[in-house]
Amino acid sequence: MTNTSETTKTAIAHGNYVRGSASKVRRVLDQIRGRSYRDALIMLEFMPYRSTDPITKVLRSAVANAEHNYGMDPSTLIISSAWANNGPVMKRYRPRAQGRAFSIKKQTCHISISVESAPTQINAEVQN
């Protein structure tokens, strides 16, 4: 038995300790996952969310890694996977009445995006 699975090269970029909650970043990543690099950049430019700036930065870094490390063409790249995990929480305290203090939690997250080359369609003609 032979294994005929084709290995694809994948370039990954990470953005660690990004200010913003992971759930708000995932909301944007779910929209661009599976799209081409060009479509994702256009979508990120016109989305009204604050988390699009660090996501754009990580996406551009992943594409630069693909170009530099594997010599891939940016026009053929698609976002194969994109995820965000929780980072450490910065705790701050706000003074309140009668000597109390309320805690303020400033969320951080780690963004990871991987890109790979889109599968090429080869039209094989069957000869009879």
pLDDT, tens digit, 9 for 90 and up, residues 51-90: 999 999 999 999 999 999 999 999 999 999 999 999 999 9
CA distance 65 to 89: 29
Chain mean pLDDT for the chain:
90
Does residue 127 lie within any of the structural domains? no
Does residue 48 lie within any of the structural domains? yes
The count of structural domains within the chain is 1
What residue numbers bound the domain in which 79 lies?
A: 10-117
Of 36, 32, 20, 128, the residue nearest 78 (C-alpha): 36
CATH of the domain at 50: 3.90.470.10
Does residue 123 lie within any of the structural domains? no
Does residue 124 lie within any of the structural domains? no
Phi first, then psi, for residue 83 (nearest 5°) are -145, 160
Contact residues for 65 (Cβ-Cβ < 8 A; gap 6+) = 11, 12, 13
- The pLDDT confidence band at residue 2, using thresholds 50, 70 and 90, is low
- The pLDDT confidence band at residue 1, using thresholds 50, 70 and 90, is very low
Given a contact cutoff of 8 angstroms between Cβ atoms, the answer to whether 52 and 44 are in contact is yes
Report the chain's terminal Cα–Cα distance, integer Å: 28
Residue 4 has pLDDT above 80, yes or no: no
Residue 104 has pLDDT above 90, yes or no: yes
Q: In the structure encoding, which two tokens stand for residue 87, read together?
A: 């980072």
pLDDT digits (tens, 9 = 90+) for 14-26: 999 999 999 999 9
Does residue 4 lie within any of the structural domains? no
Given a contact cutoff of 8 angstroms between Cβ atoms, the answer to whether 45 and 15 are in contact is no
Phi first, then psi, for residue 123 (nearest 5°) are -90, 105
